[in-house]
A and B are shown apart, each in its own frame.
Chain A
Amino acid sequence: MDKRSLRWLYQELPTLVSSGIVPAEIADRIRKHYGEPDAQGSGRHWLITLFAIIGAALIGGGIILLLAHNWEELSRPVRAGISLAPLLLTQALAAWVLWARNESTAWREGVGTSLTLAIGSSIALIAQTYNLGGTFPDFMFAWTLLVLPVAYLLRATLPALLYLVGVTIWTGSVTNEGTKSLWFWPLVALALPYLWMVARENRYHPRPLLICWVLSTVGTIGTGFGLHRLLNEFSWYIVLYSGLLAVWWLVGSRWFGEATSLWQRPFQFVGGLGLWILSLVLTFSDPWKEITRHVWWGSWQHNTAEWAVALAWPVAAIALWVAAWRRRETSELLLGAMPVLAVLGQALAVHNQEVAAAVLFNVYVLVVAVTLIASGVKAQRLGIINAGMLLLSALILCRFFDADLGFVARGIAFILIGIGFLVTNLVLLRRKGAAQ
């Protein structure tokens, strides 16, 4: 139950008991079941933690900037010693926090942030003192790997977030070094136990949610970096990304199904939006034509690991889809089925049927949009109806830009869609008002 509803329930309970609607014993059992409403305390608690993180980041950043001045008046060994000072100090502080302030989230997050910055700055400042060249990927790699244990030991979120972002930046910077970028997934996997650790108690807590938002975003970007060779040579992005985004969508629907706000749906949002955009792109015939051009150019002699990863996502998506089908989660099924259509489209395109592949996706997007609108109308939920209408309008507009139509025809289409939006919203709001 979300905090607002819980607060309302706790406010109502005494009245319900005094008016005899709920027996006192039942009220106690309800209180026991949901625990103490810590809504207010929790909010303040998180504010303190946030300020601790911002404060630590500002102080750490300031110290780094001061040191980066490269004080030539000081001797080289002194400068080298000073470069190590932030690291030593924050390590000592972290040890003290682990010993004496282990229960304070603000302390752990704050010192975790400082230590994360100190590790990077110490390595960089020593490189500066001794004029060491070094490549950016090497630096990023060393920094991110040294930061990860900090996330686990201090149970701090920022080092984990920096790790995920750092691994993605590193992967992006080694794309010209053959299959090195395939290390993206094992490296990301190293952070997953941390996610499990923080999500175990309450997956709707801000901490796991923040990690899930970053994970779904960097996972989407990093997958492109990791498999850049296959994507370039085979236009494999259609099957790969429909698989990956469908996995996000289905995983999100499965584990964040009871979310009460958009913020609590990281995987559904990234996956759903991605699937929408990709499916709209695939309603054009050009992406499919690219495939026919590429298939003859690419060499199939790729690393087996590359193909294994590229196939793992669509396969995982189909497995999750089957699981959702068994649970009769009909709302997830239609969007989650996109990998199957992508494979079908790819097969059609390879046999020079690119127009058929584009028609297939036009029908698919139309069905998704109409189903959304229908289910929204049935459940009387304006948000879902509008989402369906948005997708439908996008599809119509795509076709209008595709076709060789004049400004007048396009203008009329815009006006009609606009009127459609306004009328639907007006009618539904009136109905709702009348119902209430």
Chain B
Amino acid sequence: MKSSRVVLAVFGVVALVQLAVATSQLWRSEWTLRTGKSYKFKTAPVDPYDAFRGRYVALAFEQREAPWDGQKTLSLGSTAYAVLSEDANGFAQVLRVTPVRPESGDYLRVKTGYSGTSNRVSYSFSYDRFYMEECKAPKAESVYRENSRNTYALVRVRDGVGVIEDLFVGDKPIRELAVSGRRRGP
């Protein structure tokens, strides 16, 4: 009986670790969505043959590179920080990418890609998809592709974490368009 108590206690610890891993993402995302600042990120057309489509809309962003603000040489896939601001039209723009965490202002943790010419670097955000109900997702994807010049993702940003709140086509959330588009269909 004593040994089964020990096993149960160890299992309790393991269960807590499992829960902690699952809830840490939940907590961080929920906190960001509730308290983060909203940024509108202009999206770009995506490759229509993305293998993983189906239940979500695959996203690509218009701005893909920014000036590199670091001394050391850059290795592919390393963590860096994209410093954010807003342009004249109210859309988000990445001012520069830096290897050290900025002390003030809004920024996003990104993975660096290939460094281009004139000390610029490409980067990727931690988010690249927008999940929808399975019956709506294919319709939403085609609405999104047809209007890809006029789409943006509303992202909440706090402490380097970015969480997509919604995806807009023009001034309407894509969920509404996917539904109305479906109704118009045969």
What residues make up the interface of A, taking CB atoms closer than 8 Å to B? 68-72, 76-77, 80, 83-84, 87-88, 91, 94-95, 98-99, 102, 119, 122-123, 126-134, 142, 146, 149-150, 153, 177
Contacts and interface: CB of A to CB of B under 8 A. Distances in A.
A131 B130 contact: yes
Q: Which of A88, A131, A150 has the largest number of chain B CB atoms within 10 A? A: A131
A134 B125 CA distance: 10
A70 B136 CA distance: 11
Given A91-B15, A95-B8, A127-B25, A68 B55 contact: yes
13 contacts: A69-B134, A84-B22, A84-B23, A94-B15, A95-B11, A98-B8, A123-B21, A129-B29, A129-B131, A130-B30, A131-B130, A131-B163, A153-B10
A101 to B, nearest CB: 11
Contact of B133 (A70, A91, A98, A177): A70
Given A70-B55, A80-B26, A87-B22, A153 B14 contact: yes
Interface in B24-72: 25-26, 29-30, 33, 55-56
Contacts of B18: 87, 91, 119, 146
B125 A131 contact: no
Contacts of A83: 22, 26
Given A70-B134, A133-B127, A149 B14 contact: yes
B175 interface: yes
A70 B128 CA distance: 17
Contact of B131 (A87, A131, A150): A131
Given A80-B26, A123-B25, A134 B19 contact: no
A87 B136 CA distance: 28
Contacts of A142: 21
Nearest to A91: B15
The secondary-structure label for the interface of chain A is: helix
Q: Which of A91, A94, A150 has the largest number of chain B CB atoms within 10 A? A: A91
Nearest to A115: B18
Q: Which of B4, B8, B18, B56 has the largest number of chain A CB atoms within 10 A? A: B18
Contacts of A72: 132-133, 136, 175
Contacts of B8: 95, 98-99
Q: Which 10 A-B pairs have CB atoms at the shortest separation, nearest pair first?
A: A130-B29, A131-B164, A149-B14, A133-B128, A91-B15, A122-B22, A133-B127, A128-B131, A153-B11, A126-B26
A260 B127 CA distance: 54
Contacts of B136: 72
A229 to B, nearest CB: 16
Given A70-B131, A95-B8, A98-B8, A126 B126 contact: no
A94 B30 contact: no
Nearest to B164: A131
B170 interface: no
Contacts of B134: 68-70
Contacts of B25: 123, 126-127, 130, 132
B174 to A, nearest CB: 12
A72 B131 CA distance: 10
Contacts of B10: 149, 153
B22 A132 contact: no
A103 to B, nearest CB: 10
A98 B7 contact: yes
Contacts of A71: 133
Contacts of B102: none
B30 A133 contact: no
B100 interface: no
Nearest to A88: B19
A134 B126 contact: yes
B22 A126 contact: yes
A303 B50 CA distance: 35
A261 to B, nearest CB: 34
B165 to A, nearest CB: 9
B181 interface: no
Contact of B11 (A84, A98, A119, A132): A98
Contacts of B130: 131
Interface in B60-116: 77
Contacts of A150: 14
Contacts of A77: 30
A69 B137 CA distance: 11
Contacts of B126: 132-134
